[in-house]
């Protein structure tokens, strides 16, 4: 199991505790501390089987390093701001034991719905019933949560592209992950305006946004106003919508500009 974490001191302890409670305990937990400026590494060292600290370079590099160091036949990739239900790992690898190259879960829930900025972020993303993916999400996806190590290594792991790097392996394998029903986990939304801004900046630096032509189209003032109206209809408070949207779209704009000035810098 590989966890690449950057400034996740608020969450990493919770994630690692949830891994101890698994009905199918992981053989190993490798935490790659991606140049964190907080207590991420110190907290992880008290709980993880192995912690590797590297210079900040983004999740693709960190996950690829963890995969090279891992000894198991199945790789599971988790984010530092996640937590897992006790049967998560057991359910997640069932499709692989059945012959699939890899798997994913659509049973992902917002871990902090009570936080006002998390709620505003959920409204921005149009999330319903505190689920990150709808219950009728397709059975195949290009985002592997677990994958056979030999398949992952055969294509060189993740491409270092920034936001969206976790969807690059499927393209190279020409194979999608299979859903693992019941593999419940939790993902913690940004819980402050600073984190929402950082999320937008990361998206602005990545390649996914450039699939829109022009990439800044959806972040022009009149379109942002439309998004705000939609968020209000989803039940978010007015002031929270305005503050969250301005933080997010400012982050995207800064990300787009910085990627043009420093094209090799595309991580957080």
Whole-number Å distance between alpha carbons of 251 and 239: 18
Alpha-carbon radius of gyration of the chain: 18
Confidence of residue 128 (pLDDT cuts 50, 70, 90): confident
pLDDT at 267 exceeding the cut of 80: no
> Does a structural domain hold residue 268?
no
Domain carrying residue 208: 193-261
Clarify whether residues 128 and 242 are in a common domain.
Answer: no
| 116 neighbors 243 (Cβ within 8 angstroms) | no
> Does a structural domain hold residue 267?
no
> Number of folded domains in the chain?
2
Six-digit token string for 65: 């390093």
- Report, as an integer, the average pLDDT of 257-268: 82
Predicted pLDDT of residue 44: 95
Residue of higher predicted confidence among 260 and 32: 32
Collect all residues with Cβ–Cβ distance below 8 Å to 2 and sequence separation of at least 6: 30, 32, 63, 66, 67, 70, 75, 76, 77, 78
Six-digit token string for 137: 């999400």
> Does a structural domain hold residue 165?
yes
Residue of higher predicted confidence among 177 and 264: 177
Clarify whether residues 144 and 76 are in a common domain.
Answer: yes
Can you tell me whether residue 222 is helix, strand or coil? helix
Can you tell me whether residue 17 is helix, strand or coil? helix
Residue of higher predicted confidence among 214 and 190: 190
- Report, as an integer, the average pLDDT of 211-215: 84
CATH code for position 126: 3.90.550.10
Whole-number Å distance between alpha carbons of 102 and 261: 37
Clarify whether residues 57 and 171 are in a common domain.
Answer: yes
- The domain boundary, picked from 132, 154, 187, lies at 187
Predicted pLDDT of residue 266: 72
Paired residues of 78 in beta bridges: 3
Q: What is the pLDDT of residues 21-51, one digit of tens each?
A: 999 999 999 999 999 999 999 999 998 779 9
Clarify whether residues 147 and 55 are in a common domain.
Answer: yes
- Report, as an integer, the average pLDDT of 143-165: 95
- Mean pLDDT over each residue of the chain, to the nearest integer: 94
pLDDT at 265 exceeding the cut of 80: no
Clarify whether residues 121 and 233 are in a common domain.
Answer: no
- Residue identified by tokens 């020409």 is 174
Q: Rounded to whole angstroms, what are the CA distances from 170 to 50, 137, 195, 205, 266?
A: 28, 17, 29, 21, 21
Among 236, 206, 42, smallest CA distance to 126 is for 236
Clarify whether residues 40 and 152 are in a common domain.
Answer: yes
Clarify whether residues 125 and 216 are in a common domain.
Answer: no
Whole-number Å distance between alpha carbons of 218 and 47: 42
Among 37, 27, 31, smallest CA distance to 12 is for 31
Can you tell me whether residue 142 is helix, strand or coil? coil
**Exposure class string for 95-111: b at 16+ Cβ within 10 A, else e:** bbeeebbbbbbbbbbbb
pLDDT at 9 exceeding the cut of 90: yes
pLDDT at 229 exceeding the cut of 90: yes
Q: What percent of the chain has pLDDT over 90?
A: 82
Q: What is the pLDDT of residues 182-210, one digit of tens each?
A: 999 999 999 999 999 999 999 999 888 88
Extended strands (E) in the chain: 2-5, 30-34, 50-54, 74-79, 82-84, 102-104, 108-110, 140-141, 146-148, 177-179, 185-187
Q: What is the pLDDT of residues 74-126, one digit of tens each?
A: 999 999 999 999 999 999 999 999 999 999 999 999 999 999 999 999 999 98
């Amino acid at each position: 199991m590989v966890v690449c974490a950057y400034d996740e001191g608020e969450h990493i302890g919770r994630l690692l505790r949830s891994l101890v409670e698994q009905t199918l305990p992981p053989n190993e937990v490798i935490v790659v501390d991606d140049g964190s400026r907080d207590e991420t590494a110190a907290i992880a060292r008290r709980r993880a089987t192995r912690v590797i600290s590297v210079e900040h370079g983004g999740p693709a590099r960190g996950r690829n390093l963890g995969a090279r160091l891992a000894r198991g036949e199945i790789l599971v990739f988790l984010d530092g701001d996640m937590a897992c239900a006790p049967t998560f790992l057991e359910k997640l690898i069932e499709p692989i034991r059945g012959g699939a190259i890899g798997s994913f879960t659509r049973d992902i829930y917002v871990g902090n719905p009570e936080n006002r900025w998390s709620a505003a972020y959920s409204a921005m993303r149009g999330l319903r019933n505190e689920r990150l993916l709808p219950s009728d999400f397709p059975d195949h996806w290009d985002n592997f949560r677990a994958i056979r190590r030999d398949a992952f290594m055969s294509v060189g792991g993740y491409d270092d592209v920034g936001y969206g790097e976790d969807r690059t392996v499927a393209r190279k394998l020409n194979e999608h992950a299979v859903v693992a029903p019941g593999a419940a986990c939790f993902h913690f939304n940004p819980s402050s305006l600073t984190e929402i801004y950082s999320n937008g900046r990361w998206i602005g630096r990545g390649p996914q946004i450039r699939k829109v032509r022009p990439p800044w189209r959806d972040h022009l003032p009149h379109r942002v106003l439309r998004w705000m109206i939609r968020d209000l209809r989803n039940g978010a408070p007015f002031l929270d919508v305005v503050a969250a949207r301005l933080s997010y779209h400012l982050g995207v704009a800064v990300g787009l500009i910085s990627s043009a000035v420093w094209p090799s810098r595309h991580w957080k």
